Amino acid sequence: DTGVSQDPRHKITKRGQNVTFRCDPISEHNRLYWYRQTLGQGPEFLTYFQNEAQLEKSRLLSDRFSAERPKGSFSTLEIQRTEQGDSAMYLCASSKTGREQPQHFGDGTRLSIL
């Protein structure tokens, strides 16, 4: 069990640029979640996948955000035309199927918008 892996760990970009983050879940996990965490707050849900299907999206996921999980394995989260308010830690989690299956988090990608 190698854990959830996220890349990059840190991303600094200028306002208006596009950024893409990658998440590699635990291999046998078919559920994958994206959360956003700002300083002093708990993680906020963005979206989740069951295999390759995106099943839930939060109102926080504006049309500048898009997430994919093309083969049901790794996932990417893209933010287009970044804004100052996008600065946050973007966390990925994965779990097995089942409501009480724990969500295991990666160490996140910290995004800073200049």
Partner 1 sequence: QQQVKQSPQSLIVQKGGISIINCAYENTAFDYFPWYQQFPGKGPALLIAIRPDVSEKKEGRFTISFNKSAKQFSLHIMDSQPGDSATYFCAAPSGAGSYQLTFGKGTKLSVIP
Contacts with partner 1 by CB under 8 A lie at 4, 31, 33, 40-45, 48, 55-56, 58, 91, 93, 95, 99-100, 102-108
Cα 103 to Cα 15: distance, rounded to the nearest angstrom: 32
Q: Which is nearer to partner 1, 14 or 28 (CB)?
A: 28
- Shortest separation between residue 16's beta carbon and partner 1, angstroms: 28
Question: What's the token pair of residue 76?
Answer: 């990417």
Q: Which is nearer to partner 1, 48 or 82 (CB)?
A: 48
Type of residue at 73? S
Q: Which is nearer to partner 1, 56 or 83 (CB)?
A: 56
Pairing of strands 88-95, 104-105: antiparallel
Mapping DSSP to helix (H, G, I), strand (E, B) and coil, where does residue 84 land? helix
